[in-house]
């Protein structure tokens, strides 16, 4: 059923407690995101106006328990967090996927072709890395205007350069390996060599990098949304809940505390998995 290597991967995952914790937490978040409508106790948009700012555990007259309390409009915090997981995960995964796609493609071409194309792509990498991730995403988001699409593009484009740089480096070391040279001697087209001979070998490190980027991207998205520059307010998101909760933070600590904890747990899980993936692939890379 499994090839030997995959069994080894699974075993290593189960013998590394931190990785196992990460997988379990992340799986919970993913299940919440997919089955949000079924799992969440009440409609996250429904305003229980009589129960505004109720502390965690309050039970309403019609028998609804607000496990994590309600916000300033009487909306259930737990339901909001469950629904908010959707947008956080979708935005982060799409953005990182976009950055990875662009980065891997350009890194592959850059390292393989060399010459002026390599120079142009690498200068573009330098230029992108000039501004820190958050600032770059902010500038792009300003340029692209509001909307869910532009936040994904802004976060994705901010992250492509790291992928391009990583992949190019690996391609350079692979380009002169015997099996690649053999392919060249056989007259294989460049596209075939890049996609079938080189890409499979660089994909693993790109995936490790991507897994570590997802967490950073979730935090960046939440920060931008918190500042009013991210996910539009009509979509339930963790960053939005934090921004709303801030207004009555002194009277109702639970809104900001729990929506932030959701971010911390998700990012923690992703980092634990990313760290484990990296160590599993190359134990020397402990950094």
Residue with tokens 């997802």: 214
Question: Scanning residues 196 to 225, which ones bind another protein (CB under 8 A)?
Answer: 215, 219, 222-223
Give me the numbers of helices (H) and strands (E) for the chain, helices first please: 12, 2
Residue with tokens 């799409």: 94
Looking at beta carbons only, is 36 or 122 nearer to another protein?
122
- Quick one: CA dihedral 212, 214, 219, 224, positive or negative? positive
Determine the 3-state secondary structure of 74 from DSSP: coil
**Residue 249 interacts with another protein (CB under 8 A): yes or no:** yes
Stretch that binds another protein, among 2-10, 29-37, 47-55, 266-274 (CB under 8 A): 266-274
User: What single DSSP character describes residue 172?
Assistant: H
CA distance 6 to 205: 16
User: What single DSSP character describes residue 58?
Assistant: E
The correct pick among 12, 28, 40, 257 for binding another protein (CB under 8 A) is 257
Stretch that binds another protein, among 50-58, 60-68, 109-117, 261-269 (CB under 8 A): 261-269
**Residue 226 interacts with another protein (CB under 8 A): yes or no:** yes
**Residue 263 interacts with another protein (CB under 8 A): yes or no:** yes
**Residue 53 interacts with another protein (CB under 8 A): yes or no:** no
Residue with tokens 């995960």: 89
Kindly report the number of other CB atoms within 10 A of residue 140's CB atom: 18
**Residue 268 interacts with another protein (CB under 8 A): yes or no:** yes
**Residue 67 interacts with another protein (CB under 8 A): yes or no:** no
**Residue 117 interacts with another protein (CB under 8 A): yes or no:** no
**Residue 131 interacts with another protein (CB under 8 A): yes or no:** yes
Q: What angle do CA 250, 235, 214 make, to 5 degrees?
A: 90
Looking at beta carbons only, is 199 or 252 nearer to another protein?
252
CA distance 136 to 4: 43
**Residue 164 interacts with another protein (CB under 8 A): yes or no:** no
Give the residues lining the site for another protein (CB under 8 A).
Answer: 126-127, 130-135, 138-140, 142-145, 215, 219, 222-223, 226-229, 242, 246, 249-250, 253, 256-257, 260, 263-265, 267-268, 271-272, 286-287
């Amino acid at each position: 059923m499994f090839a030997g290597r995959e069994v080894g991967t699974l075993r290593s995952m189960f013998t590394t407690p931190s990785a196992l914790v990460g997988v379990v937490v992340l799986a919970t978040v993913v299940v919440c995101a997919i089955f949000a409508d079924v799992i969440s106790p009440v409609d996250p948009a429904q305003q229980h106006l009589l129960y505004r700012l109720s502390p965690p555990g309050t039970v309403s007259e019609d028998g609804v328990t607000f496990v994590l309390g309600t916000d300033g409009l009487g909306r259930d915090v737990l339901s909001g967090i469950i629904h908010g997981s959707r947008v956080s995960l979708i935005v982060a995964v799409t953005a990182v996927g976009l950055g990875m796609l662009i980065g891997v493609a350009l890194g592959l071409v850059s390292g393989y072709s060399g010459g002026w194309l390599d120079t142009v792509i690498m200068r573009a990498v330098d230029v992108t890395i000039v501004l820190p991730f958050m600032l770059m995403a902010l500038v792009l988001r300003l340029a692209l205007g509001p909307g869910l699409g532009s936040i994904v593009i802004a976060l994705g484009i901010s992250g492509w350069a790291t992928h391009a740089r990583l992949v190019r480096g690996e391609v350079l070391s692979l380009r002169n390996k015997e099996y690649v040279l053999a392919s060249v001697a056989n007259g294989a087209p460049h596209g075939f060599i890049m996609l079938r001979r080189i890409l499979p070998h660089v994909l693993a490190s790109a995936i490790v990098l991507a897994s570590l980027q997802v967490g950073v991207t979730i935090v960046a998205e939440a920060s931008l949304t918190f500042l009013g520059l991210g996910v539009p307010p009509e979509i339930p998101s963790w960053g939005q809940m934090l921004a709303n909760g801030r207004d009555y933070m002194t009277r109702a600590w639970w809104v900001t505390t729990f929506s932030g904890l959701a971010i911390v747990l998700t990012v923690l899980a992703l980092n634990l998995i990313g760290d484990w993936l990296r160590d599993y692939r190359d134990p020397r890379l402990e950094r």
